Structure formats: C-alpha cells, structure tokens
Structure 1
Amino acid sequence: MGERRTILVAGATGKVGREVVAGLLAAGAGVRALVRDPDHANLPEGVLAVRGDLGNPESLTGAVAGVDGVFLLWPSFDPQGAPAAVDALTAGGAHVVYLSAMNVRDDQEASRNGVWGAVERLVEGSGSTWTFLRAGGFATNTLEWAEQIRTTGTVRWVYGDAARSLIHERDIAAVAVRALTGDGHAGRKYVLTGPATVTQAEQVRLIGEAVGRPVRWVEIPVEQARRELVAAWGDAGLVDGSLAYWSGLVTEPEPVTGTVQEVTGTPARGFREWAADHRADFDARPVPAARRRRP
C-alpha cells in the first residue's frame, strides 16, 4: 500500500459509510468523516470528524485539504449542486471512489443513467483519478419491511417473484477500501452484486429464518403500491420507473457478477448472511446487548 493514505468519507454515518470507515481504519488509513454535526456523529476512535455538507461547497474546502482519496455517495436523486460539490472535492486532485448504480451503462443515452450517471460524468471531467462502484440493489433497502415484520409477521408489497442480486453493505465497503488504499483501480467501473439472485418473497422467508419465526409475503395491487410510493417519494416518474423495473425482474432477474471476489479475494456475502447480521432490526423480541450489531 505504500505510504499511509488519508481518506475523506462523505456519508460516513450511513450504513455503507460506516462500513467504509471501519474498513479504512482496519487497513491503517487516516480517516476523516464529513458530517454536519461532529459532536453527534458517534464514530469510532481514531476518526477525525470534520464539519461539512455536500450541499454547501464552501464547507468542503477545509475537509478535503491534504487528503489522498474521497469516498463519495451523492445523497439525493437530484444532481443539482453536484457540479460545485465535485469541484470542491477534487480541487486537490484526490482519487475519488464514487458509489454509483448498476443501471448506469456506457452504451445507453445519458438521460437514462439518471443522477448516478450525471455525477459520474462530473467526476470523470474533474481531472482527478476515479473508481466507480456501480452497485446493484442494497440489501439494506429491505429494512423498509422491518416494521411490518416486527408487528405483523408479514410483508405486504408487489412483485414477490422479482429476483434481485442484492449486495451486503460490507461488500460494497470492502471494494471501496481496496480502491481507496490500493493501486490499480483508477479508471475502473466495478459492477457489484451479491452472489446469487433471490426473489423478494424468498428474501422475506430468509429474514424469517434469521429471526426464528415464519414471515409471510402478501402480494398487493400494483396501484396501491404506486399510491404509497408517490406519497413517500413525491416523484411519480421515479415511482413508475421503479415499478416497471421490478416488474421486469419477474421474468429477467438481475445479473450476478463476481467482482467483489475479484477485487477483494473474498466471495460476496449472500442474503441469508445479511439477514442474520441484521436480525435485531427485524426481531420483535429483545436481543441481548452482547449480540447486537450495528447495521
């Protein structure tokens, strides 16, 4: 790895960001965490919490000064503000590892690549070196079912037969740490997935297996799901695109890649392992403190 590198982690208090922080510490890197409130960041010992906000580019100047790398997760479905933020983060030439999305493709129109593709283009044009992590669906998104599972033992949602190759946040972080602390990753676009496809209904069954009680899938009308999503997201176009995507996964499952193992030397974790790691999030019963793990 050579000289000790100092890395700025944006989104350090999120589920992926916390794993990146932990992995960087384990790798011996110096870690700065970009947070809005350093006093309440609750980060591990050895991490320097620096005040800053991606929505306020002026606040990034001090945070990024002297760092060798930046882990970037853009926190919005809207790229507004991203040009100034990327300019600030790359002003010193730091290597950027950007958590993008698997639906970004180089062979399709830029408009179809959404906010993730827009931020990729900004990073590519910044003059800094970069690595893009085009991750598939996050396993942590199934935490949206946690309240239903805890209180009713069921998940009421659409497209139970949609097959997804969901990825564990620790595997995303493991690849990010390699790209931030090692050589040979500049200019790479890594498509990251879990090791197999698992239908949504099967994900629910595996969560039940992890908590030690049956959990059922209940299919609801698509229009009902659409109303709930529009109310929650506020963007009908995004909702319709998401529903169409999930519908397509019933007949054409998401792809599976071996990139996690190729980069880290360790196979990607399956959904069963993810569910076991997050048992406390879904279990209605108290879990002894010694067995609790931070998501």
Structure 2
Amino acid sequence: MKTYVITGSIGHISKPVVEALVKAGNKVRVVTSNHDRVKDIESLGASAVVGSVFDAAFVSTAFKGADVIYTMIPPIWQTTNWRASQNEVAKNYADAIRENKIAYVVNLSSVGAHAGNGVGPVDGLYDFEQLLNKISGLNVKHLRPSYFYYNLLNQIGLVKQAGILGGNFGDGEKVFLVHTRDIAAAALEELTTLKFSGASVRYIFGDERSGKEIASVLGKAIGREVNWVVFSDEEQKQGLLQAGVPEIHAQAYTEMGKAIRDGLMQGDARKHKPTLSPTKLEDFATEFAQAYAG
C-alpha cells in the first residue's frame, strides 16, 4: 500500500485515477479548493484536504507523508497575469515536494510544454516542468496529452446554429487528439508502476486529424453536414470574448491555436510520436452525438 496525493480535485482525469488507486488498496488524499466536493471525494474511498493551492503552508501539509504525488495546475480564471499565477502554484508544489522529500511525481503537463514561449497557457506548464526537473533526487514523469476531444463539445451550439466547427487552426497541420479516459489510463499506469527515474516525458494522443476530417466524422454522427471553418486569429479572439472568456485568457487561447497551426505546439510530439492510445475520433463521435441530442 502506498499513500498518494492527487491535486486538482476529481475531474475527467483524476476521478478514475482515484477510483482505481483506492480499489487497489492504496491510501489516497485528494486536494480540492471546494468544500462541496468533499462528499463526492469521500464516496470514492479517498480523503479530502480542502484549501487553496496558492497557500504554500497548506500545500506542504497536504503533501506530508505521501509516497507519490499527482500534480496539475488547475484552471486560474481570476488573474491579471495567467503565467505568473501558474508559476505561483508551481512554486508551492515544488517547495512542498522538496520539503517533504517526495520521491515520485506524475505531472499533468501538455503537448507544447517543450517550447517555453508562444503556446499560450502551456507556457506556464513549461515553467513548472523545469522547476520539477531541478529538484534533486526527484523522479518525475511529465504527461503531455494533446488537444482534448471534449473541447469540441463546446462548439455544439455553433454546429446547431450554423452547421460549422472551427478554430484558428485545422487547415494545414493536423491536430493530435486524445480522450481524457486515455490520459487517466496513462496517469494510472505511471502512478502505479513507478518505472521512471530522473525526469522524463510521455506524450499521449490517440488520433491525428485535419479540421475537415473532424467536421466530417462528427457531422456523420449527428446526421447533418458540418464544415470546419478556419478563423483568423482576431476572429478567434473576438469569438472567445463574445462567449464570455476574459481578455487575458482569450488572448492566450488564441496564441495556443496559432501555435497548433504553425506547428510549434505539436513539433516535439511529432518527433517523438507515442503508441497511439485507444480512443479514436469515430469513438468520440458517439459521445458528441449524444451531447448534441441532449
């Protein structure tokens, strides 16, 4: 039995990880900022530790006694400098890992975290990777998943209204795609086998498609013609702003789309392609159709 600490509460990736770790007889603590999630966490057989990851003392206490930590920097919406806020959380994590002499960390990063600049919100994940890599004696596996299939669910309204999907990418550079359950499976494998030493990277994606192919497959699943529209960067940003996304985040997401289009974001992953994970676009299309009909 090992003691695991899982940051990021229980979302699409961490919930199945927690369930599997508990089922295997491990002690699992889940870090959450939301008191309302405590019952849900405890129902999985884990214990909840409630507090802010911006509180260094809280993070250090939460990590105390752990054999393995799963780290993720949560979405940060209230900020005037997204990267600086990410770095604040990253420093708290790194300091707590060092103070508690943690031996193993599995870190949820992203495709594009090799670049350092020009990849929007992923730039902060580069910083965190570098911070972890500098901790003496730490064994860390950075998971770098690609574009999530479920991000496409956010465009269902656009499909219903105009029969289109789109982004400021998708016409040249094909997009690596991944399902969150495949990320969870990879995370669980790394967390339980601990067959890594030093600092290493694992890319995770299950398919590679153009925008046109994405629209065609999802359109077929819902029984209507759907086209992929490539927006200009300004159109992309304005669309996000109109959807209520804050200015600083809209700019960052637009930059990330440009990085996909230009090949920067996926460049290192393209050089180090992994064995593809199981879930393909056609598999996700069933989920898309169910959400579309709902």
Rate the CA distance shift 1:257–1:129 in 2: closer, same or farther, 3 A.
Answer: closer
1:119 matched to 2:128? The reply is yes
Query: In structure 2, what is the equivalent of residue 289 of structure 1?
Result: none
Q: In 2, distance between residues paired with 1:21 and 1:279?
A: 28
Asked whether 1:259 is paired with 2:269, we answer: no
Label 1:6 to 1:215 Cα distance change in 2 as closer, same or farther (>3 A). farther
RMSD: 3.1
- Which deviates more, 163-172 or 195-204? 195-204
How far 1:111 moved relative to its partner? 5.1
Q: Which residue of 1 aligns with 2:70?
A: 71
Query: Any unmatched runs of 5+ in structure 2?
Result: 77-81
Deviations 1:14-66 (A, max 9, x none): 32222322343344433221111243353342121221221112222332222
Give the conservation status (yes or no) of the 8 Å contact 2:87–2:127: no
Cα pair 1:19 1:169 within 8 Å, conserved = no
2:105 alignment partner in structure 1:
96
Q: Is the 8 A contact 1:195 1:258 kept in 2?
A: no
Q: Kindly state the Cα deviation for residue 237 of structure 1 after the two structures are TM-superposed.
A: 6.0
Partner of 1:17: 14
Letter in 1 for 2:208: T
Stretches of structure 1 lacking an aligned partner (at least 5 in a row): 262-266, 287-295
> Would the aligned equivalents of 2:179 and 2:206 in 1 still touch at CA under 8 Å?
no
* Cross-structure match for 2:256: 242
Q: How far apart, CA to CA, are the structure 2 residues paired with 1:63 and 1:150?
A: 45
Q: Is the Cα contact below 8 Å between 1:12 and 1:20 reproduced in 2?
A: no
Question: Relative to structure 1, is the Cα distance of residues 158 and 121 closer, same or farther in structure 2, using a 3 angstrom cutoff?
Answer: closer
AA aligned to 2:87 is Q
SS of the aligned residue for 2:28 comes to strand
1:200-239 correspondence runs (5 A): 200-229=211-240, 232-235=245-248, 238-239=252-253
Given the superposition, is the C-alpha separation of residues 207 and 111 from structure 1 closer, same or farther in structure 2, using an over 3 Å criterion? closer
Equivalents in 2 of 1:55, 1:183: separation in Å? 28
Shift of 1:200: 2.1
- The 1-side partners of 2:20 and 2:287 are apart by 17
CA contact (8 A) 1:168 1:271 kept: no
Report deviation, 1:69: 1.0
* Within-5 A mapping of 1:1-295: 4-41=1-38, 42-43=40-41, 44-75=43-74, 76=76, 77-78=82-83, 79-81=86-88, 82-94=90-102, 95-105=104-114, 110=116, 114-127=123-136, 128-161=138-171, 162-229=173-240, 232-235=245-248, 238-239=252-253, 241-248=255-262, 255=270, 259=274, 267-281=277-291, 283=292, 285-286=293-294
AA partner of residue 104 (structure 1): A
- Distance in 2 of aligned mates of 1:216 and 1:181: 42
Q: How many Å apart are 1:145 and its aligned residue? A: 1.2
Aligned partner letter, 1:273: D
Retained in 2: the 8 A contact 1:165–1:193? Answer: no
Matching residue's letter, 2:96? A
CA distance in 1, matches of 2:237, 2:26: 44
Deviation at 1:204, TM superposition (A): 2.7
**CA–CA distance in 2 between the matches of 1:209 and 1:25?**
39
Distance in 1, matches of 2:287 and 2:196, equals 29
Farther-moved stretch of structure 1 (196-205 vs 145-154): 145-154
Tell me the secondary structure at the aligned position of residue 165 of structure 1: strand
Structure 2 residue matching 1:80: 3-state secondary structure: helix
1:290 aligns with none
Percent of residue pairs bearing the same amino acid type: 22
Q: Secondary structure at the match of 1:59?
A: helix
TM-score by length of 1: 0.77
Q: TM-score, normalised by structure 2?
A: 0.77
Q: Deviations over 1:185-208 (max 9, x none)?
A: 233523323233111232233233
Contact 1:201 1:217 in 2 (8 A): yes
Q: How many residues align?
A: 272
Kindly tell me: are residues 210 and 26 of structure 1, through their superposed partners in 2, closer, same or farther at Cα, counting changes over 3 Å?
Answer: farther
Letter in 2 for 1:205: S
